[in-house]
Amino acid sequence: MELTVYLAGQIHDDWRDEVKNKAKDRELTIQFVGPQENHDRSDSVGEDILGEQPNKVLRDDAASSINNLRTQIWLGKSDIVIGLFGENYKQWNTAMDLSTAMAAGKPTILIRPVSLHHPLKELSNKATVTVETIDQALDILSYMYE
């Protein structure tokens, strides 16, 4: 059976491509879904579609409503949610996506450098599995099919 995996986390680099390529190398029958990965488009989509907004907060709010709609659909269709945390960015939406998945009864894999464990300890304790690297997350996905 094909599994659908939502990749939650920052969109400032191409870590999702790494996940997808490594899954392809392992010949896993997995479909990956996730947020808009073009950062500029993600920030401007509210004004792109709804027109200029009165100020920055409202520009952000317009964008986030459309991004939230996207997340609601694809995260809702996923079987597993992987959330990646790194040293940079606030990443509160990553915490939100993982918590939403947990509340919906979906299994979660939390990827984070061990240096971030302390502030992530409550989220990590609620995640199904916590790992340090993308390769470990892929090991777990592979294990689903063993």
The answer to whether 78 contacts a copy of itself (rule: CB under 8 A) is no
Q: Provide the Cα torsion 60, 66, 67, 71; round to 10°.
A: 150
The answer to whether 134 contacts a copy of itself (rule: CB under 8 A) is no
The answer to whether 12 contacts a copy of itself (rule: CB under 8 A) is no
Give the one residue of 15, 44, 64, 134 binding a copy of itself; rule: CB under 8 A: 64
Near a copy of itself in 107-126, by CB under 8 A: 107, 109, 114, 116-126
Which residues, including other chains, have CB under 8 Å from residue 12's CB and lie 6 or more apart? 39, 88, 89
HSE on the CB side for 125, CA within 13 Å?
Answer: 4
Give the one residue of 23, 71, 81, 82 binding a copy of itself; rule: CB under 8 A: 71
